[in-house]
Amino acid sequence: THDTLILGIETSCDDTGVAIVNGAGNLLGESLYSQNIIHLRYGGVNPVIAHELHRENIDKAVQETLRNARINIENIDAVAVTTKPGLLISLQVGVKYARFIANRYHKPIIPIHHMEAHALVARMYSDIPFPFIVLLISGGHCLLSIVNDVDDFLLLGESLDNAPGQILDKAARRMKLRNIPEYSKMAGGRAIEAAAKYVKNPELFKFTSPLLKNRDCNFSFSGFKNSLEKKLFQKESEHNIMGDRVIPEVNDLCAGLQLAIAEHLAVRTERAVLFCEKKNLTSGAHKNIVVSGGVACNDFIFNSIKVIGDKMGYNVIRPPPKVCTDNGIMIAWNGIEKVRKKCELSSTIALSDVDPK
């Protein structure tokens, strides 16, 4: 019903996210402790530090959420928590906390799959009937899937190596974007998007598109890393650059890389749509493609997917930016979806049910 209250907990990677969402899909309270800035310094997520910070922040995040929702924990109907996939020791922090609440206040637990939550949360913000296509692009994942129902996903393709956000983060670091004050506090992908807006010569750096001969919907991003290294090294030598200095053509390089990643994502998404059309997998009056995950915040990439959607007669939709990146809202919402669907709720979950894959 509309007054169902679900507390959602997300700790699968480096963000401690908590939220309360009701059965009508309203966000009542939330809290997010992001470790982004800390891990920027290490050039990737450090699992030991991530675990420590989750432990430090989880209780604060839950109390803050309850406070700003003005809800007493006794009045929650269930606790939804991410159980997979993610860093094992990080996941366990959220699950242990959820079990603590469940035991102490006699609440059921709803185990949530992180990727499913990324996909479904778009339905909290717009009316998107099943089935729809989802493109999930983040620092840890890249996949295309058909969402047939709350608990029925058909995987169409995934990355054979790195995730796009991972490549963008590594590239930003290698290009030393952090030394430019404007970008110093931004996630790598966001810094690249910002720098690419100052492009002068979009033709200067061309990256070859991967997997063009592969007749499937998989992705590959590792080649971009190598070609970026070559291009960067060449320019650094040319200008005799060492240490912390940034190459003068950095904006053009960012634009070239962003374009290549956008094109690759668009080409594979188009293949997925063609496949769905041919097999009649997305029949119905409304044809939708949802784009989610941190990289979906990128307007240039999102608009490239929109071009494909327009061409194929699909709406292309993304949740608001703060819901594209990891958060507790999507976990709470997925809990609501499962309650609506009358999926089985459990009184507790074993730690052995927590799964990195």
Binding site for ligand KG4 (CB under 6 A): 13, 138-140, 165, 168-169, 187-190, 193, 293-295, 297-298, 325-326
The beta strands (E) that lie in 165-299 are given as: 288-292
Q: Does 22 bind Zn ion (CB under 5 A)?
A: no
The three-class DSSP label of residue 60 is: helix
Residue among 224 and 275 whose Cβ is closer to ligand KG4: 224
Q: Which is nearer to Zn ion, 121 or 259 (CB)?
A: 121
Stretch 90-149 residues interacting with Zn ion (CB under 5 A): 138
For 88, the token pair is 């094992």
- Choose between 9 and 66: whose C-beta lies nearer to ligand KG4: 9
**251 within 8 A of 196, measured Cβ to Cβ:** yes
Whether residue 71 contacts residue 33, with contact meaning beta carbons closer than 8 Å, is answered with no
Q: Tell which positions 225-264 bind Zn ion, by CB under 5 A.
A: none
> In what side-by-side order are the strands of the sheet with 132-137?
152-158, 142-149, 132-137, 288-292, 315-317
- Burial (CB < 10 A; 0-12, 13-18, 19+), residue 129, is exposed
Residue 298's binding partner among ligand KG4, Zn ion, none (Cβ under 5 to 8 angstroms by kind) is: ligand KG4
Distance separating alpha carbons of residues 297 and 291, to the nearest angstrom: 9
Contact 41, 72 (CB under 8 A): no
Nearer to ligand KG4 among residue 138 and residue 282 (C-beta): 138
Q: Give which of Zn ion, ligand KG4, none residue 30 binds (C-beta under 5 to 8 Å, depending on kind).
A: none
Residue with tokens 């292309």: 316
Structure tokens at 164: 């796009």
305 interface partner picked from Zn ion, ligand KG4, none, CB below 5 to 8 A per type:
none
Distance CA 23, CA 32 (A): 21
Contact pick of 211, 326, 330, 335 for Zn ion (by CB under 5 A): 326
Q: Which segment (204-212, 301-309, 324-332, 339-347) binds Zn ion by CB under 5 A?
A: 324-332
CB of 69 to ligand KG4, least distance (A): 23
Q: What does 193 bind: ligand KG4, Zn ion, none (CB cut-off 5 to 8 Å by kind)?
A: ligand KG4
Q: Which residues of this chain interact with Zn ion, rule CB under 5 A? A: 138, 326
